[in-house]
Amino acid sequence: MTTLRIATRRSALALAQAEEIASLLSTNAFRSEIVPMSTSGDEGVSPESSPSGMKGLWVDRIVEALRSGEVDLAVHSAKDLPAEDEEGIVVGAVPERADPLDVLIGRQEKLNPGMVVGTSSIRRRAQLLAGFPGIGVAEIHGNVDTRLRKLAEGEVDGLILARAGLARLGVDPPNARTLRIDEMVPAPGQGCLAVHVREEDRSTRAVVSVLDHLPSRRALESERALVQLLGGGCDLPLGAFAATRGDRIRMVAVVATADGAKVIRNGAEATEPAAVATAVAERLRAEGAERILAELQG
């Protein structure tokens, strides 16, 4: 039996995600090995140097290795993917989605006005400023452990992190509260893993297809379609979350100015990912979303 080579970034979270896919493959009697790799983003390359923008930085070298046949598949956090896949590369599987919500973690049990929350996400910043009057926001970078250390050392009073990432790392910090959708719409794809394969590699596509969870795939396709329609691909104050019920897909999305002064929120329901994304995009545009995004993109 062939051993499938799984490409992933070297971070603790990326490795945990790859291990999750390796375990699922093993459960289905397929052997695999993990091939850790560095991307341009890991090496500090600027977004201006990446043809795919900010998000392309975190997948570029992995896509090259997959395309060349150096590896057989790649595992990504779906929220790190550009809105469109590279030519010849497809999402072969979307396993069942983990909790997509964000978590607010504080040094104390309650965040009071005047306290500062750390995040590097413009989406989180915008919704924080809009929904939590009196709370300040500071730029903070690093992996989960680094950010939690900065919180413990008092550099900030709070953090916002993805619930799925914390769970995959086995981290359960104190004073953590899951934010409801009406408080913080997550990033498109948050909680989903995307398994990339070569479009022409039918045998590997057949193998990874056993991992596919159709409701999660349909939700992810809806969210990525919305990003594409709104001209996304870089870090934008755009949140989107889709969920399926039977053959229906319902999606809610938010676009906000970076300072949180204007928040546009809308949703729609349809039977197909493209249809629900189009409906949501049209409603957001009607309220001025494109103008907000255009101003941010320069």
Q: Which positions are catalytic?
A: 80
Give me 160's structure tokens.
């916002």
The answer to whether 22 and 71 have CB atoms below 8 angstroms apart is no
The answer to whether 227 and 186 have CB atoms below 8 angstroms apart is no
Count of other CB atoms within 10 angstroms of residue 22: 19
List alpha helices for the chain, DSSP H: 12-27, 53-56, 60-68, 122-131, 144-152, 163-169, 202-208, 214-229, 273-286, 289-296
Give me 113's structure tokens.
């006005």
Give me 24's structure tokens.
């699922």
CA distance 97 to 81: 15
Q: What are phi and psi of 296, to 5 degrees?
A: -70, -30
CA distance 222 to 233: 15
Burial grade of 35 (CB within 10 A; 0-12, 13-18, 19 or more): middle
- The distance in angstroms from the start CA to the end CA of the chain is 52
Number of H helices, E strands in the chain: 10, 13
